[in-house]
């Protein structure tokens, strides 16, 4: 990792009425981030997403909502006008099923960060956050389900996930150089799977925890307890609860030691997909008859977050137990499922 050559000047603490810009805010994490800052008492939040407003997962009261495509340079200028801090979470993304089949769309997200980081810089934003991903890590290190946890230096030599992972890696580099060459404070978190209420739970972009909850709820509803699992179920992952994610974004973005330094933001509680299904069975009190689709998209064999660095710098790490977060998520998805069945309008998130 390149050493910081710049002197870090201390800036004024964020005032409650300073403008915070959040992109991707019609989606899961950025929507929850807008809510988090609102609850912290910030009064000047601009939430941006390309989706029409009625498709946003969360509508946070008294936040300025803009429906704009931030892959377009002109829109980014408008979005960043007056911004003190910019959080760029917009991306075309989904679970493994989506990113393995939509590499072009994932790669095209490069336009989003490229235009957003430049617009934030030109607008004089003090801090810029970019949401990277564990998919930026070298895939050759993730061939064993008993994977050793990934530490920040494992991204290089680079062999990222095709499409989505490479886009994240190049966007990280953009952020790093906007600090080294131009002096804008940038922050980069590599998220490991995030789950929780107000996330995608149906439609093909949902990730494993939401998919498993929905499949169980559907099974109970239809009285058909068969479940098809992608892969052999032994692939491992860690899953971070949304509240830990938004808190982590805040802590990282306000820590000058982390300028232009990618850092893991993930849980280190490693579970197999079979264990995830066990947990959903325990929550619902029902058993599923499992079958395995070995041809379905399943991603790397194993992936976990090494939290040594985040614990050292922030004296904190995501710690919500999967059992607890999953129970809350299950209840929320069940509510959404039954509301939709009753003909009420719900998002798929």
Q: Which of 22, 47, 70, 280 binds ligand NAD (CB under 6 A)?
A: 70
Under rule CB under 6 A, residue 30 binds ligand NAD: yes
Distance of closest approach, residue 50 Cβ to ligand NAD, in angstroms: 4
- Of 141-149, 173-181, 187-195, 300-308, the window that binds ligand NAD (rule: CB under 6 A) is 187-195
* Per-residue binding letters, 75-114, with ligand NAD (x by CB under 6 A): --------------xxxxx------------------x--
What span, in angstroms and rounded, lies between the C-alpha atoms of 150 and 306?
Answer: 5
| Of residues 289-348, those binding ligand NAD (CB under 6 A) | none
Stretch that binds ligand NAD, among 66-74, 118-126, 216-224, 287-295 (CB under 6 A): 66-74
Q: Which of 36, 57, 128, 164 is catalytic?
A: 164
C-beta closer to ligand NAD: residue 71 or 219: 71
Known catalytic membership, residue 164? yes
Q: State which residue, 105 or 234, has the beta carbon closest to ligand NAD.
A: 105
**Are the C-beta atoms of residues 135 and 165 closer than 8 Å to each other?**
yes
Name which of 106, 45, 114, 38 is nearest 75 in CA terms.
114
Q: CA-based diameter of the chain, in Å?
A: 63
Should residue 200 be labelled a site residue for ligand NAD when binding is judged by CB under 6 A? yes
Shortest distance (Å) from residue 12 CB to ligand NAD? 28
DSSP code per residue over 205-231: ---HHHHHHHHHHHHHHHT--EEEEET
The CB-nearest residue to ligand NAD is 27
204 versus 335: smaller Cβ distance to ligand NAD: 204
In 3D, which of 233, 234, 240, 242 has the Cα closest to residue 147? 234
- CB 69 to ligand NAD: min, Å: 4
Q: How many other C-beta atoms lie within 10 A of the C-beta of residue 16?
A: 10
Residue 169 CA to residue 176 CA, distance in Å, equals 11
C-alpha–C-alpha distance, residues 10 and 121, integer Å: 18
Q: CB count, 10 Å around CB of 262? A: 24
193 binds ligand NAD (CB under 6 A): yes
> E strand or H helix at 240, and its extent?
strand 240-241
- Per rule CB under 6 A, count of chain residues that contact ligand NAD: 27
Binding mask 127-146 for ligand NAD (x = CB under 6 A): ----x-x-------------
Per-residue exposure over 210-236, b if at least 16 CB sit within 10 Å of its own CB, e if not? bbbbbbbbebbeeeeeebebbbeeebb
Query: Residue 191 — φ and ψ, nearest 5°?
Result: -70, 140
CA dihedral sign of residues 97, 100, 106, 108:
negative
Min dist. Cβ of residue 177 to ligand NAD (A): 19
Catalytic residue annotation: 164
Interacting residues with ligand NAD (CB under 6 A): 23-24, 26-30, 49-51, 69-71, 89-93, 112, 131, 133, 191, 193-194, 200, 207, 349
């Amino acid at each position: 990792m390149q050493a910081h050559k710049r002197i870090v000047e201390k800036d004024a603490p964020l005032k409650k009425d300073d403008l915070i810009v959040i992109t991707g805010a019609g989606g899961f994490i950025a929507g929850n981030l807008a809510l988090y800052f609102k609850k912290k008492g910030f009064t000047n939040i601009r939430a941006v997403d390309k989706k029409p407003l009625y498709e946003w997962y969360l509508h946070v009261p008294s936040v300025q909502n803009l429906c704009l495509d931030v892959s377009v340079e002109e829109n980014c200028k408008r979005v960043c006008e007056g911004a003190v801090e910019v959080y760029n979470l917009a991306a075309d993304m989904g679970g493994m099923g989506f990113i393995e089949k939509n590499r072009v769309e994932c790669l095209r997200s490069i336009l989003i960060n490229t235009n957003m980081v430049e617009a934030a810089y030109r607008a004089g934003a003090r801090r810029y956050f970019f949401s990277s991903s564990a998919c930026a890590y070298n895939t050759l290190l993730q061939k064993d389900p008993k994977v050793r946890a990934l530490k920040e230096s494992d991204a290089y030599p680079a062999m990222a996930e095709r499409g989505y992972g490479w886009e994240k890696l190049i966007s990280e580099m953009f952020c790093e150089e906007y600090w080294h060459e131009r002096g804008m404070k940038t922050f980069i978190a590599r998220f490991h799977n995030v789950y929780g209420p107000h996330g995608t739970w149906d439609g093909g972009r949902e990730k494993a925890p939401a998919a498993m909850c929905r499949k169980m709820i559907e099974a109970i509803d239809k009285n058909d307890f068969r479940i098809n699992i992608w892969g052999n179920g032994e692939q491992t992952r860690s899953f971070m609860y949304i509240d830990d994610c938004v808190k982590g974004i805040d802590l990282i973005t306000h820590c000058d030691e982390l300028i232009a330094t990618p850092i893991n933001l993930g849980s280190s509680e490693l579970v197999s997909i079979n264990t995830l299904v066990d947990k959903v069975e325990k929550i619902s009190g029902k058993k599923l008859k499992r079958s395995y689709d070995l041809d379905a998209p399943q991603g790397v064999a194993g992936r976990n977050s090494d939290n040594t660095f985040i614990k050292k710098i922030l004296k904190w790490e995501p710690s919500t137990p999967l059992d607890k977060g999953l129970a809350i998520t299950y209840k929320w998805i069940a509510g959404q499922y039954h509301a939709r069945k009753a003909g009420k309008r719900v998002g798929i998130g």
